[in-house]
């Protein structure tokens, strides 16, 4: 007869089996008895991170200094890197796999502007169905691999009425009440405090360096507040207006969770949005994913010049 015990997870973190089973104990039954919750659920976050980092250190033995996340339509930026090793997400233990068109789904290790970098060609989004902890898992991995600065990029809708398609907006701050905070749950004290300060989520020093580089390279930059939504729908006209009224300059479906986890670990962040569509608009045009990818691709050379200059300067 099969083992029919029901398991209860106690607040102490220990599993006990309930409803005594008249059948002789089976191995499954015994193995569950008094098993720690973490082991019952699989590996702890720290164990998973350790396994992933050990794996990647075998693939690439140098220590990357800068981590880069390439947003929608920006995957070709990886071609700027003098590539030393590429590892497909599908081959990395504990990594989620990206499902979005336009996301290449690999970690690219190499040299850019004389520094060792690791770039995520493709990121994980909450709207794909991943838990917040999965979305930020690679950021923690890159930090454990040794990065000291994180550069984030994304495609975003402009809600600041002075923005145009193709603009690059330096993110100075963000607003997100919609995507779950990735630090919800037991704090991992090894990474940072329970209540991290978020008064400077995007480092002023990096912003100031980026502005100097943009000036030297004749790149016109906007700056503003990134408003995070879950997606995957683009916003209604009323929502774009509300986001503007609430203080957003651009709206997008990524970045904030990654920024939070980096701040928790004391990792300085610089982030930009490529404005790929204008949310607040008079005419009747609709917004499509294809248009977003196209606009991001067109703005890529400006983003590349900015990131390359910044990496050289840090």
Which residues bind to ligand HPA, rule: CB under 6 A?
155-157, 229, 231, 234-235, 251-253, 276-277, 279, 287, 292
Name the minimum Å distance from CB 45 to ligand HPA.
Answer: 28
Question: What number of other Cβ atoms are within 10 A of residue 113's Cβ?
Answer: 17
Q: Which is nearer to ligand HPA, 92 or 253 (CB)?
A: 253
**Closest chain position to ligand HPA (CB):** 157
Name the minimum Å distance from CB 162 to ligand HPA.
Answer: 16
Rounded CA-CA distance 13/158 in Å is 46
What are the two backbone dihedrals, phi and then psi, of residue 193, each rounded to the nearest 5 degrees? -75, 165
Token pair 């996301």: residue: 103
Name the minimum Å distance from CB 298 to ligand HPA.
Answer: 14
Name the minimum Å distance from CB 233 to ligand HPA.
Answer: 8
Name the minimum Å distance from CB 150 to ligand HPA.
Answer: 20
Q: Which is nearer to ligand HPA, 60 or 240 (CB)?
A: 240
CA dihedral for 135, 136, 139, 143, sign (positive or negative): negative
Q: Which is nearer to ligand HPA, 140 or 297 (CB)?
A: 297
Q: Which is nearer to ligand HPA, 146 or 166 (CB)?
A: 166
Q: 245: left (phi > 0), else alpha (psi -120 to 50), else beta?
A: alpha
213 sits in which H/E element? helix 204-216
Q: Which is nearer to ligand HPA, 17 or 273 (CB)?
A: 273
Tokens standing for residue 294? 């196209």
Pairing of strands 168-175, 221-228: parallel
């Amino acid at each position: 007869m099969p083992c029919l015990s029901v398991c209860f997870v106690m607040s102490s973190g220990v599993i006990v089996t309930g409803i005594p089973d008249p059948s002789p104990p089976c191995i499954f039954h015994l193995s569950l008895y008094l098993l720690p919750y973490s082991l019952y659920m699989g590996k702890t976050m720290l164990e998973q991170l350790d396994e992933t980092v050990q794996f990647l250190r075998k693939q690439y033995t140098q220590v990357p200094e800068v981590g880069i996340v390439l947003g929608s339509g920006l995957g070709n930026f990886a071609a700027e890197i003098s590539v030393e090793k590429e590892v497909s997400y599908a081959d990395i233990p504990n990594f989620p796999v990206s499902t979005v068109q336009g996301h290449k789904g690999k970690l690219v290790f190499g040299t850019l502007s004389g520094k060792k970098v690791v770039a995520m060609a493709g990121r994980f989004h909450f709207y794909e169905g991943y838990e917040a902890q999965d979305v930020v898992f690679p950021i923690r991995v890159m930090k454990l691999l040794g990065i000291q600065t994180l550069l984030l990029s994304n495609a975003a809708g402009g809600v600041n009425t002075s923005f145009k398609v193709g603009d690059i907006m330096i993110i100075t701050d963000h607003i997100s009440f919609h995507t779950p905070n990735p630090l919800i749950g037991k704090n991992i004290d090894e990474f940072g405090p329970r209540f991290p300060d978020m008064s400077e989520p995007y480092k002023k020093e990096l912003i100031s360096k980026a502005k100097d580089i943009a000036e030297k390279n004749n790149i016109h930059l906007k700056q503003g507040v990134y408003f995070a939504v879950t997606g995957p729908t683009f916003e209604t006209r009323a929502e774009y207006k509300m986001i503007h009224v609430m203080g957003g300059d651009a709206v997008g479906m990524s970045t904030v969770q990654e920024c939070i986890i980096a701040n928790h670990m004391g990792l300085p962040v610089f982030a930009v949005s490529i404005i790929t569509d204008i949310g607040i608009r008079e005419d009747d045009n609709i917004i499509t994913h294809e248009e977003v990818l196209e606009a991001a691709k067109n703005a890529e050379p400006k983003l590349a010049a900015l990131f390359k200059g910044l990496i050289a300067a840090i």
